[in-house]
Amino acid sequence: MDDRQTDDRDERRDEVLKALVEEHIRTGEPVSSKTVLESTGLTVSGATIRNELASLEREGFAVQPHTSAGRVPTARAYRYYVDHLAPSKLQTPAQRRITEFFASMHLELGRLLKATTELLTDLTQYPSVAIGPGATGEIVRATHLVQTGAKTALLVVVTASGRVAQELCRLPEPMTTKELERAEEVLARVVVGKEITTTGDFGLRAADVPAPVRSALVVVEAALREASARTADVYVGGTRQMATVWDDLATVQRVLEVLEREATLLTMLGGADGTSIRIGDELSTDEMDLAVVSTGYEIAAGEGRVGVIGPMRMDYRKVISAVEGVSRELGDRMAD
Q: From 228, 217, 216, select the one nearest 165 (Cα to Cα).
A: 228
Candidates 42-50, 163-171, 219-227, 285-293; binding stretch for DNA (CB under 7 A): 42-50
Strand order through the sheet with 152-159: 140-147, 152-159, 164-170
Candidates 13-21, 149-157, 274-282, 316-324; binding stretch for its own copies (CB under 8 A): 149-157
User: Is there binding between residue 97 and its own copies (CB under 8 A)?
Assistant: no
Q: How far is the CB of 156 from its own copies (least distance, A)?
A: 5
Name, in order, each residue with C-beta under 8 angstroms of 45's C-beta and a sequence gap of 6 or more.
none
User: Is there binding between residue 107 and its own copies (CB under 8 A)?
Assistant: yes
Residue 199 binds: one of DNA, its own copies, none (C-beta under 5 to 8 A by kind): none
Residue 33 binds: one of its own copies, DNA, none (C-beta under 5 to 8 A by kind): DNA
Among 19, 40, 70, 277, binds DNA (CB under 7 A): 70
Q: Footprint of its own copies on residues 224-283 (CB under 8 A)?
A: 237-240, 242-244, 247, 249-250, 252-253, 256-257, 259-260
User: Is there binding between residue 289 and its own copies (CB under 8 A)?
Assistant: no
Among 5, 87, 91, 150, binds its own copies (CB under 8 A): 150
User: Is there binding between residue 3 and DNA (CB under 7 A)?
Assistant: no
Q: How far is the CB of 335 from its own copies (least distance, A)?
A: 8
Q: How many residues bind DNA (CB under 7 A)?
A: 25
Q: To 10 degrees, what angle do helices 94-104 and 109-124 make?
A: 160
Residue 90 binds: one of DNA, its own copies, none (C-beta under 5 to 8 A by kind): none
Residue 325 binds: one of its own copies, DNA, none (C-beta under 5 to 8 A by kind): none
Among 161, 215, 264, 284, binds its own copies (CB under 8 A): 161
What does residue 308 show for φ and ψ, rounded to 5 degrees?
Answer: -125, 140
Q: Which residues would be at the binding site for its own copies (CB under 8 A)? A: 106-108, 110, 141-142, 144, 146, 148-152, 154, 156, 158-162, 164, 166-168, 170, 237-240, 242-244, 247, 249-250, 252-253, 256-257, 259-260, 300, 334-336
Q: Which residues would be at the binding site for DNA (CB under 7 A)? A: 9, 30, 32-35, 43-48, 50-51, 53-54, 57, 64-71
